[in-house]
Amino acid sequence: MSDEKTDSSRVANLPLETKSQEKAREEKLPCVTNGQLKLYDPKANNVERFIKLLSQRINRPLASSMVACVHCGMCADSCHYALAKPDDPTMTPAYKADQIRRIFKRHMDWTGRIVPWWVHARSLASDEDLNRLKNTVFGMCSQCRRCTLNCPMGVDTAALIRLTRGILTELGIVPEGVFNVSRDQWETGNQMAVTEEDYLETLEWMKEETQEELGISEIDIPMDKKDCDFMYTINPREIKFDPRSIANAAKIFHFAGENWTMPKWGWDQTNFGLYSGDDKLGAYVARNLYESAKKLRAKRIVISECGHGYRSTRWEGYNWAEYDQTIPTESVVITLIRYIKEGRITVDPALNPEPVTFHDSCNIARSGDLIEEPRWILRQACSDFREMHPNRTENFCCTGGSGLLSMAEYRPLRMEVAQIKADQLKATGAKIVCTICHNCVDGLNDLVRHYKLEMKVVQILDLVANALIVPKKK
Ligand code: SF4
Ligand code: SF4
């Protein structure tokens, strides 16, 4: 497909340079910040650096996704971008992957080197091309992997998108939001730059509120306690915007008679490295968390409700950090199932009478392993649970995945393609949509407001805490 077609898409028409890039060029800023994160260096030969990094990072699975596509077009029916904009071929997964594939073919594949015109191989000409590539891989894909699962050739388009994002991050050619969040996570250890003071104060506040609400002074949010049954790790959004989720967890853990703790450092289970493709950031964040659990001699790591945090902490982090992680990890969803099955807590579905549907987070259902588990809890804790369609591994993305919520410039397109998700939600007739991901909560809330849906977005901890039968005081 031609570049003219790229230019016809709204995203590709965005300004090519971000403010940081402009500033770096005008003020001749140094090209490295906080030792790791790179600022754009306009004087460098970025095209050459890109090609070099691409050749260094290609491995066998990525190479097979580069060469296996037969352009059958089946993936177009999987992608919410392509489904919402059927007349725009630049929205199809194959087109997006072709933008990196053609560079790979031109420089690393023998056919592309000898007869480039035959296999549509093409190199990059300038930083402008790199910026165009940035708008494609950051602005037109939420790395949901729905196309990956539906490709007959096993092409992992999302992995190619992440590879490209990672190389562009290395060159400092990234959206402003990606740069800022990555910098915060490098500098403060958490992606919302929560200070230790704010963290501890919020937890103290939640502890006092829960004690007051239930009239039980023993309810605690223990800090840095050694030899506990588990160390509880959270998403910084819980501290900044939704501390009730921690209070709900503390309440449930108390009634389950749990011996738990939270760590003072290494508590952020989210990991922007997964989104930006920066494996070094991924390794740094994961290592913080694993080391913290080791130091506290925790028997287990429990991960609060977050899709990409769960995927990063449970599946990807060991590899990025090359860490010999021996402490078991689990989602809080599994912890809750254990409590209910062992009779450590009791829930009454009548306390959640409104119709509830469930949104599978891409990073948990498609790229993880929890599909029936949240549904089991919903059937215990709600009296009217109904599926949305399609569901489980075929569910559509909340549209805010892959860090898109931090990239304001791509919001108009994101809201446009969210029509697919809005229709899916509406068809359930549910008043509540539950998800086990904080990122999905924000993505769904955004589209619920945009499409004026009468729906409330909640998480499993909210519903279980609401359905909890509080034992009578002896
Ligand atoms: S479904 Fe797979 S093989 Fe077919 S066009 Fe899409 S990526 Fe290529
Ligand atoms: S990963 Fe998801 S958003 Fe990206 S191209 Fe595939 S289906 Fe579309």
Taking only the tens place, the pLDDT of each residue in 249-283 is 999 999 999 999 999 999 999 999 999 999 999 99
- Contact (CB, 8 A) for 362 and 144: yes
Class of domain 3-174 (CATH, top level): mainly alpha
**What pLDDT score does 471 carry?**
86
Whole-number Å distance between alpha carbons of 141 and 137: 6
Residue type at 253 in one-letter notation: F
Which residues in the chain come in under a pLDDT of 50? 1-8, 29-33
Measured in Å, residue 93 CA sits from the centre of ligand 2 at 6
Residue 308 token pair: 């990409």
pTM score of the predicted model: 0.94
CATH 3.30.70 correct for 191-341: no
Query: Which CA distances in Å does 396 have to 81, 160, 363, 390, 401?
Result: 11, 20, 12, 7, 11
Which atom of ligand 1 approaches the CA of 74 most closely?
1
**What pLDDT score does 88 carry?**
96
- Contact (CB, 8 A) for 431 and 354: yes
Ligand nearest to C-alpha 69: 1
Other C-beta atoms within 10 Å of 34: how many? 9
**What pLDDT score does 8 carry?**
38
- What b/e readout covers 325-358, taking b as 16+ CB neighbours within 10 angstroms? bebebbbbbbbbbebbeeeebebebeebeeebbb
- Contact (CB, 8 A) for 234 and 246: yes
**What pLDDT score does 25 carry?**
61
Pocket test for ligand 1, best of 151, 156, 160, 161 (most atoms within 8 A of CB): 151
DSSP class of residue 262 equals B
Q: What are the residue boundaries of the structural domains of the chain, listed by start?
A: 3-174, 191-341, 349-467
**What pLDDT score does 15 carry?**
67
Q: Matching CATH topology for 3-174 and 191-341?
A: no
Q: Which CATH number fits domain 349-467: 3.40.1340, 3.40.50, 1.10.3470, 2.60.120?
A: 3.40.50
Pocket test for ligand 1, best of 64, 65, 72 (most atoms within 8 A of CB): 72
Measured in Å, residue 161 CA sits from the centre of ligand 1 at 14
Question: From atom 5 of ligand 2, which residue's Cα is the shortest distance away?
Answer: 93
- Contact (CB, 8 A) for 377 and 305: no
Question: From atom 8 of ligand 1, which residue's Cα is the shortest distance away?
Answer: 69
Ligand nearest to C-alpha 73: 1
**What pLDDT score does 1 carry?**
36
**What pLDDT score does 20 carry?**
64
Question: From atom 4 of ligand 1, which residue's Cα is the shortest distance away?
Answer: 72
Q: Is the peptide bond before 42 cis (omega within 30 degrees of 0)?
A: no
**What pLDDT score does 472 carry?**
78
**What pLDDT score does 5 carry?**
38
